[in-house]
Amino acid sequence: MNELRLPLRCKRCKEVLAYGFERVLLDVESKDPYGDPAFVGEIVCKACGTEGELEPTPDAGRILTSHMMEFLNAARGGRTIARPKVMPAETQLRGKRVGFADGASASSIRRSRSRRAPSVPASTEAGCGSS
């Protein structure tokens, strides 16, 4: 398997190690300097075992930028990349555009609330219910 190798830092133990991913989705409109990356693959620190606490290093940022530029240049030229490793994407929460990290955080908060208060319908909590 041809994976994208990135040096990532664990927010908990601060260890920097290389991780391989099938694909990385970037929010090109994000204010995050690295495009608020969403990594497709296992996101567990190899040093301490913490899940979901890996962040890009400056070297990873350069690799992501290079792959994104390749993708965008191909798209502008009318060419397609068969299986791009880095590509733009966006996510929405309650009809509002949000970054990947914010969307994942809000989603996990809603899940934990729904476990604590099962009497609240999920559609009401997500803003989809009627008033």
- Supply the range of the domain harboring residue 128: 91-131
* Per-residue confidence (pLDDT) for residue 117, from 0 to 100: 41
* Per-residue confidence (pLDDT) for residue 42, from 0 to 100: 83
Q: Structural domain tally of the chain?
A: 2
Same domain, 1 and 54: yes
> pLDDT tens per residue, the chain (131 residues)?
588 999 999 999 999 999 999 999 888 777 888 878 888 888 899 999 999 899 999 999 999 999 999 988 998 899 888 888 998 876 666 777 666 555 655 554 444 344 444 433 343 333 344 33
Same domain, 117 and 54: no
Same domain, 13 and 65: yes
Q: Give the CA count within 13 Å in the CB-facing half-sphere of 56.
A: 23
* Per-residue confidence (pLDDT) for residue 46, from 0 to 100: 96
Report d(CA 51, CA 43) in Å as an integer: 6
**Do residues 4 and 24 touch, judged by C-beta distance below 8 A?**
yes
